[in-house]
């Protein structure tokens, strides 16, 4: 059973990524670097020291990574303070209220500097919901390594297998899965073209997340489980599957199917929305027909 929900901040709680893109362009322009949008998007969710290490190597920058990170942080904190209030992403406030009412713990795990996390949470009016927040600056290795999520679970007094992470970036999803946590990929168009395919499920709106599904997560399931099945919803114990509890329903016959990503994501969505065993049976029949004729 899930005990805690860990949120990324930028692009999940607030649509701050466009502001970060603008800040990065201004910071880099000061040192004579014109960067492409694609390169900026590749930095989403990445620890700041990793970002500056890449830039230092690519553009032969003279300053040390530590100096560049310090200047970057100071610039961003002042930049966001100048913006003032920021509206949370649609549905976030309602989701957090539901999570709190259900007795689940919450935390923020962000690659941003602690001062920046504090500024943004206050600007969005969300600080009271997150007494626990952790920065990539406070762990040895930032995203896409799992350190930040492992440490956050420890501060919440829970284990990794009981945590659900909500992420909008490829780097964040990788970090969550390496930590052994369930991960919901939030497809945010403002975060650029992010590959969220490693997430257990992908959503485009927070209204798609049901509190009952969060609380019903099965700890034993892992994204790297030994089954030959590559799709989470094949497992009847998968937290989002409405098949949970229907032990007589056998899905082993389709474990070896090799479905492509677009079909996988569509079926994830259909199973997520299904509400009855009968509906799931029809979906399974359709899957088998499609697979036998297409794959």
pLDDT of residue 239: 39
Q: CB within 8 A of 178, min separation 6: which ones?
A: 144, 145, 146
The confidence score (pLDDT) of residue 234 equals 33
Task: For domain 1-215, give the CATH number.
Answer: 3.40.50.1000
* Average model confidence (pLDDT) across the chain: 79
Query: What is residue 7's predicted lDDT score, i.e. its pLDDT?
Result: 98
Task: Report the percent of the chain where pLDDT is more than 90.
Answer: 47
**Dihedral pair phi/psi, residue 17, rounded to 5°:** -60, -45
Three-state SS string over 22-66 comes to HHHHHHHHHCCCCCCHHHHHCCCCCCHHHHHHHHHHHHCCCCCHH
Tell me: pLDDT of 263 over 50.
yes
**Mean pLDDT over residues 73-78, rounded?**
90
Cis peptide bond upstream of 144, omega within 30: yes
- Enumerate the active-site residues: 8
Listed in order, the ranges of the chain carrying CATH 3.40.50.1000 are 1-215
- CA distance linking residue 50 with residue 38, whole number of Å: 17
Over the stretch 196-212, which tens digit does the pLDDT of each residue have? Answer: 999 999 999 999 888 87
Whether 8 and 109 have beta carbons less than 8 Å apart is answered as: yes
Instruction: Enumerate the β-bridge partners of residue 4.
Output: 105, 163
236 pLDDT above the threshold of 60: no
pLDDT tens across 5-63, in order? Answer: 999 999 999 998 788 888 888 999 998 888 888 888 888 778 788 889 999 998 999 99
Residue range 57-72: average pLDDT? 92
Looking at residue 218, its pLDDT comes to 39
Entry pTM: 0.66
Tens of pLDDT along 140-179?
998 999 999 999 999 999 999 899 999 999 999 999 999 9
């Amino acid at each position: 059973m899930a005990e805690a929900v860990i949120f990324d901040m930028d692009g999940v709680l607030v649509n701050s990524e466009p502001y970060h893109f603008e800040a990065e362009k201004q910071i880099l322009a000061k040192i004579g670097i014109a960067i492409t949008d694609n390169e900026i998007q590749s930095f989403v969710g990445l620890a700041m020291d990793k970002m500056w290490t890449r830039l230092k190597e690519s553009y032969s920058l003279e300053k040390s990574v530590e100096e560049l990170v310090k200047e970057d942080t100071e610039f961003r904190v002042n930049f966001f303070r100048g913006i003032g209030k920021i509206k949370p992403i649609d549905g976030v406030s309602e989701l957090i209220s539901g999570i709190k009412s259900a007795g689940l713990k919450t935390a923020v795990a962000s690659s941003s500097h602690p001062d920046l996390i504090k500024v943004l949470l206050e600007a969005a009016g969300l600080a009271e919901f997150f007494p626990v927040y952790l920065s990539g600056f406070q762990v040895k290795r930032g995203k896409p390594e799992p350190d930040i999520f492992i440490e956050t679970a420890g501060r919440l007094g829970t284990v990794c297998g009981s945590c659900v992470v909500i992420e909008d970036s490829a780097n964040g999803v990788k970090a969550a899965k390496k930590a052994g946590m369930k991960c919901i990929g939030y497809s945010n168009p403002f975060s650029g073209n992010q590959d969220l395919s490693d997430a257990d499920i992908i959503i485009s709106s927070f209204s798609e997340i049901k509190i009952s599904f969060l609380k019903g997560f099965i700890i034993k399931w892992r994204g790297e489980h030994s089954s030959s099945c590559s799709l989470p919803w094949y497992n009847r114990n998968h937290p989002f599957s409405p098949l949970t509890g229907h032990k007589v329903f056998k899905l082993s016959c389709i474990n070896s199917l090799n479905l492509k990503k677009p079909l996988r994501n569509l079926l994830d969505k259909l199973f997520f929305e299904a509400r009855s065993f009968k509906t799931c049976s029809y979906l399974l029949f359709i899957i088998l027909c499609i697979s036998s004729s297409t794959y």
